[in-house]
Structure 1
Amino acid sequence: MTGKRDYGQFCGLAAGLNVVGERWTLLILRELMIGPARFNELIDNLPGIGPNLLADRLRTLADQGVIEQTAVAGDGRGKLYRLTELGWGLRAPILALARWGLQFLAEDDATGAVRAEWGFLAVQAMIADDRIPEADEVYEFRVGDQVFAVHVEGGSVSFSRGPADSPDLVVTSDPDTFVRIGARMLAPFDAVVAGDIKIEGEPEVMHRCTGMLGLS
């Protein structure tokens, strides 16, 4: 970790922060959890980071084996960044931190950048493990121009990008409204009444879904 901050402590938390504790690093990892990305895509989705700083953060993460570079098919000079198996080990703590952080969002933050893809991670972060329905169901979320699905089967939850086959519930929303609901800044019922969110499905299915997300 030459040239990087080192806490100099024989502690797992300190060692982890030596790798991911620098500004912007966790947000870079958030983007790569959504999917592999090129350098310019990361720049576009992280307004304010600057190319030199992004390059430095990517280099550090690659040196530590958290991410890797791969070639882009059909582009001899293109590079694609993606998480390694080691990097995917950060999924649970990052989602837990995202869920914890929702309570600190305020109205002033609503003027900041928001992406439809962040809704994909927001739903994953909001899942309450002790409220997963016993019924096998599929919930489709259409957030902005992105579509993803939550699959509940056998008491476990999985996620996929793209439309679901015969979903039991379809939720349509813009990204801003979706984040507001997750942050408890807006109640789902009020959003439905205002026309900012549309829910299609049986009431009992909606109740199980919102319960799993801690919204009911």
Structure 2
Amino acid sequence: MSGVRSYGDPCGVARGLDVIGERWALLVVRDLLLGPRRFNDLLGGLPGVSPNVLSQRLRQLTEQGVVQRRDLGPPTRVHLYELTEWGRALEPILLQFGRWGSQSPQMPEGALGVDSLLLSVKASFDPARAPELAGTYAFHIDADTILAEVAEDAVQIRRGTVPDPDATLTTDIDTLRAVCGSEITLPAAVESGALRLTGDEDAQRRLTALLLSPFTPAPQPATP
């Protein structure tokens, strides 16, 4: 495999690291979990990676069978990168790894991207809340459209559209970060015009509860 170093260890952990252990590789996988992306979309969502390094990681992940490239052809001539079935099998591993990593005392100064924010929703989802949050919700964030569907005991989040979501949130990434980071309340963002909610009142409430669940501190027990 071109340019890939191996641990030379038959253990499954070492073999897995041979595939996704290079720097940026796992973050490329993370940013493809919600659906296909163009090269420039991936580049914009990974601050600090150079075009050359990203090209190399995509090539390696493609050669390893984790990622595949899909060419839309004329007239668009757009190349999309997406996870293979084997690559998608990394999702529960990445979500669990994200839960573990969120406990780290170190907090870099970088800003969370759209994918990271919405994957936090999926990683922290409580299946017991599925009945009260059930529905289909659309998030229009800048040029991105992402769907969240809560049914049975799970939430599915992916890029795409549906004709009639129960509720829709429209905003930009800076406002979304500010709301999730408690720098501004959601009602204040709505009042300012930076964020718009549509759908009936109950569906808007469910969308809001779903979105903010990872960023809302758990209630503390009363002190005796």
TM-score by length of 1: 0.71
Unpaired runs of 5+ residues, structure 2, are 219-224
Larger deviation, residues 63-72 vs 152-161: 152-161
* Distance change (3 Å), C-alpha of 1:12 and 1:143: same
* Distance change (3 Å), C-alpha of 1:124 and 1:164: farther
1:128 aligns with 2:126: yes
Residue 100 (structure 1) shift:
3.9
Contact 1:134 1:155 in 2 (8 A): no
Partner Cα distance (2:78, 2:185) in 1: 42
After TM superposition, the structure 1 = structure 2 runs for residues 13-28 of structure 1, keeping only pairs within 5 Å, are: 13-28=13-28
Contact 1:127 1:214 in 2 (8 A): no
Residue 23 of structure 2 aligns to a residue whose secondary structure is: coil
Residue 212 (structure 1) shift:
6.0
Residue 85 (structure 1) shift:
0.9
Residue 148 of structure 2 aligns to a residue whose secondary structure is: strand
What amino acid maps onto 1:195 in structure 2? A
Match of 2:182 in 1: 186
What amino acid maps onto 1:191 in structure 2? T
Identity %: 33
Residue 175 (structure 1) shift:
2.5
Match of 2:36 in 1: 36
Residue 204 (structure 1) shift:
6.8
Match of 2:156 in 1: 158
TM-score by length of 2: 0.69
Match of 1:87 in 2: 87
Contact 2:139 2:146 in 1 (8 A): yes
Contact 2:169 2:196 in 1 (8 A): yes
Larger deviation, residues 52-61 vs 36-45: 36-45
Contact 1:139 1:209 in 2 (8 A): no
1:6 aligns with 2:2: no
Q: What root-mean-square deviation, in Å, do the aligned CA atoms of Structure 1 and Structure 2 show? A: 3.7
Partner Cα distance (1:42, 1:205) in 2: 30
Residue 26 (structure 1) shift:
1.4
Partner Cα distance (2:208, 2:55) in 1: 45
* Distance change (3 Å), C-alpha of 1:96 and 1:130: farther
Contact 1:116 1:144 in 2 (8 A): no
Residue 69 (structure 1) shift:
2.5
* Distance change (3 Å), C-alpha of 1:133 and 1:22: same
Larger deviation, residues 66-75 vs 129-138: 129-138
